[in-house]
A and B are shown apart, each in its own frame.
Chain A
Amino acid sequence: MNDRDPAAQDCGGPVKQVSVMPSIFPKWTNLLPLKLAVAVACLGGAATAGVWYYWTPKYSRVGYQPKQPVAFSHNIHADQLGIDCRYCHSAVERSWFSNIPASSTCMNCHSLLLKEDPKLALVRDSYTTGKSIPWVQLHRTPDFAYFNHSVHVNRGISCVHCHGQINHMEEVFHAKPLSMGFCLDCHRAPEEKIRPVDLVTQLDWAGAVDGKKLVNDWNVKPGQSCSTCHR
């Protein structure tokens, strides 16, 4: 028998008061609150960081590059051949909506150039039958946001600011987040983006311009109230 064992001592003889607290919690629990705090902090931090990093169009939309039914290259048409954006997207200056060209626009040239090319079979079919080419839309403002293309391109906001360097894309991908914060960044400081109107479709233009002067001269007052876009 071990005399240092209080329980054993208690067993024999008259009642001898030994004040020993029964150990409800084992010793390893001493660090438990700290460990729990660390674990919760880690999990909470990771969840916050995850939401901050992933739950945003910067992650969910940027880089979206759907497979298109016809392998149209903006790089060839806009950059190498130097065709203006508005040759195809001809309504962009007049409409809130920048149109996908009708297949007859493609056939302006492709009725003569590459007229047997199998890659263009869908375009020729569409032109003869009138059935639309099922292009996949990748830039799409939500239905509750009323974005107007014409007002932007007619006031010196270039295609490149929202669509990126489309003229160098073989396949178009979503280059900018187009989130509400993205819109507001520019609406709060239009002088950083504004450029002369005739340079709007020059996507590679990198010259300097007095933006404050253009904003003032054209009386550009991009609204920041809710009803500017949500109406």
Chain B
Amino acid sequence: MRYFFLFFFLSIAATLGITGFRGGYSTRTPLQVFNDMKNQAKLRPQTDSTFPGFADGVSSRPFPAGTVAQQVGYQDNTTWKNDPFNTGRDFSKGDIPNNFVEVNPVPITSELLKRGQDRYLIYCQPCHGAQADGNGITKKLGMSTVANLHDPRIIKMNDGEIFNTITYGKNTMMGYGGNVPVPDRWAIVAYLRAIQLSRLGSKDDVPAPVLEKLK
């Protein structure tokens, strides 16, 4: 019996020594004893694909040329192109580089501005800063070319041009069209106008009773 206990406790010690405890770190792929149907013969997003039709071997497919995805603003399609909402451009002005729509085609509501603020803080703040003065965290790290969005050049831009810049980028800024959907881009444009306005106010904009109090 004592040999049994010796063997028993030694094997427990050996098991603990080899397998460790819960929560230990390991770089090894977790063992799956019974695969069941955990890994099925279907493609998941952003994985490899051996399907011969997908020459690049990637499961997530780009839109085929010339197609329009439902509810997704697709920029380069002729039908969609004519709606300024999708492109920020007004082609009735002619097919010229500067045919941007002057005013945001989306009705400005407080919800839109809230959404714009939310999106601005996610996608724009890292570089342009919460105040839109170009002092985001990346400037401290050495990104010196970030635009100050209170610059008169940008204030005077048409809404459509700002939309276009968000979509495709400009100079050292890269495009955010892939990450920010069309309605969110217009929300950001609206919110940016609100931030700009916050620094364009004058004493005359303050209601008289409030002005009295400030004196």
Residue ranges of A at the interface with B (Cβ–Cβ < 8 Å)? 35, 38-39, 42-43, 46, 50, 53-54, 57-67, 81-84, 86-87, 90, 94, 97, 99-100, 102, 104-105, 107-109, 111-113, 130, 132, 137, 142-144, 173, 198
Cβ-defined contact, B37 with A60, below 8 A: no
Contacts of B28 in A (CB 8 A): 64
Cβ-defined contact, A81 with B37, below 8 A: no
The smallest beta-carbon distance between B52 and chain A, in angstroms, is: 18
**Once the chains are docked, how many angstroms separate the CA of A35 from the CA of B8?**
13
Closest to A109 in B: B138
Given A107-B174, A113-B138, A198-B118, 5 other A-B contacts at CB below 8 A?
A38-B1, A90-B180, A108-B174, A113-B142, A130-B56
Cβ-defined contact, A112 with B27, below 8 A: no
Q: Is B46 an interface residue (CB 8 A)?
A: yes
**Once the chains are docked, how many angstroms separate the CA of A94 from the CA of B38?**
24
Closest to A105 in B: B179
Residues of chain B in range 38-64 having any CB-CB distance to chain A below 8 Å: 38-40, 42, 44-47, 56, 58
Render B18-30 as a binary contact track against A, CB cut-off 8 A, 1 for contact: 0100111111111
Cβ-defined contact, A66 with B23, below 8 A: no
Cβ-defined contact, B37 with A144, below 8 A: yes
Give the number of A-B contacts (CB < 8 Å).
110
Cβ-defined contact, A104 with B122, below 8 A: no
Q: Is B73 an interface residue (CB 8 A)?
A: no
Contacts of B176 in A (CB 8 A): 108
Q: Is B106 an interface residue (CB 8 A)?
A: no
Partner of A58, one of B19, B22, B31, B181: B22
Contact flag A87-B122 (CB < 8 Å), given A46-B8, A50-B15, A63-B24: yes
Pick from A67, A90, A100, A173 the residue with the most CB of B within 10 Å.
Answer: A90
Instruction: Identify whether the interface residues of A are mostly helix, strand, loop, or mixed.
Output: loop
Q: Is B36 an interface residue (CB 8 A)?
A: yes
**Once the chains are docked, how many angstroms separate the CA of A87 from the CA of B47?**
21
Q: Is B126 an interface residue (CB 8 A)?
A: yes
Contacts of B37 in A (CB 8 A): 142-144
Cβ-defined contact, B19 with A63, below 8 A: no
Contact flag A82-B137 (CB < 8 Å), given A46-B12, A109-B126, A111-B172: yes
**Once the chains are docked, how many angstroms separate the CA of A97 from the CA of B44?**
9
Partner of B40, one of A90, A107, A109, A144: A144
Cβ-defined contact, A62 with B23, below 8 A: yes
Residues of chain B in range 163-185 having any CB-CB distance to chain A below 8 Å: 172-176, 178-181
Closest to B11 in A: A46
Cβ-defined contact, B25 with A173, below 8 A: yes
The smallest beta-carbon distance between B28 and chain A, in angstroms, is: 8
**Once the chains are docked, how many angstroms separate the CA of A120 from the CA of B12?**
45
Contacts of A63 in B (CB 8 A): 22-26
The smallest beta-carbon distance between A18 and chain B, in angstroms, is: 35
**Once the chains are docked, how many angstroms separate the CA of A42 from the CA of B4?**
10
Partner of B126, one of A35, A53, A83: A83
Contacts of A130 in B (CB 8 A): 56
Contacts of B179 in A (CB 8 A): 87, 90, 105
The smallest beta-carbon distance between A187 and chain B, in angstroms, is: 20
Cβ-defined contact, A43 with B8, below 8 A: yes
Q: Is B77 an interface residue (CB 8 A)?
A: no
**Once the chains are docked, how many angstroms separate the CA of A58 from the CA of B56?**
37
Closest to A132 in B: B58
Partner of A109, one of B24, B31, B143: B143
Pick from A50, A100, A107, A109 the residue with the most CB of B within 10 Å.
Answer: A109
